[in-house]
Chain A
Amino acid sequence: MAPALKVFGPARSTNVARVLVCLEEVGAEYELVDIDFAAREQKSPDHLKRNPFGQIPAFQDGDLLLFESRAIGKYILRKYKTSDADLLREGDLAEAAMVDVWTEVEAHQYNPALSPVVYECVIYPAIHGTPTNQRVVDESLEKLRKGLEVHEARLWESASLAGDFASFADLNHFPYTFYFMATPHAPLFDEYPHVKAWWERLMARPAIKKLAARMALLN
Chain B
Amino acid sequence: MEHRLLSVTHSTLREDNNLSPKSAAAVLSLITNPFTSDSTLSSLLEALVLRLHNPNSNSDHQKVLSLLSALSHHHPRLGHRIAAAAHAFILLPSTPTPSLPHALSLLDPAHPFQTDPFSDESLFLSLCFWQCVKTRRWILRNLSKFRVRPSVLITVLLGFTKDPYPYIREAALDGLVMLSNGIVVEDPSLVEGCYFRAVELLFDAEKSVRLSAVRAVSEWGHLLLALKGDKTQREWSDALFVQLCLMIRDTDAEIRVAAFNALGKIRTVSEDILLQTLSKKTLAATKEKKYPGQYTAKLFNIPATAAAFTFVHGLEDEFYQVRRSACHALQMLTVLSAEFSGGAVHVLMDILNDDSMVVRFQALETLHHMAMHDHLKVEESHLHMFFGTLLDNNGLIRSAARKALQFTKLQKLAMFRSCVNGLIKNLELYPQDEAEIFNVLYKIGRTHGKFVTSIIHEVSQELEPSFDGKLSFDKKRTAALLVLAISAPVSLERSICSIPPRIYSYAVTLLGRLSSGLVHVMDQNTLLAYLSHCSKFTVASTSENFEGELLNFDLKNSFTHLWKKSDAFSFPESMELKKVTTPVHGYLLNSHIKATSCVEIVLWKVVELWPLIKLRCMNDVVQTLRSWKEELRNFSCNSRHPAGVLGFALRYLHVIKLLGKAWACYFSQRNLQFTEMGVLEALLHKMESRLKEMLCRHAGLSRGEKLHILELMLVAYTLRLSCGVTSYFEDYINKLKNVLCLVEYLQKEGLVELSHFVNELQNISCEIGHSEDGFIYKLDRLQKSLNLFSLKHIVLSGELKYLDAEVDVCDNEFQNPLPFIPGLPVGIPFDITLYNISSETRLWITTTLGEKSAQFVFLDLSEFGGSNEMRRFTFLSPFFRTPLAKRFSLKVSIAMECLSEDQHFKHCNGPKHELIHLCKGKEVHLSMPVK
Q: Do A and B bind each other?
A: no
B residues whose Cβ falls under 8 Å from a Cβ of A: none
Binding site for B on A (CB under 8 A): none
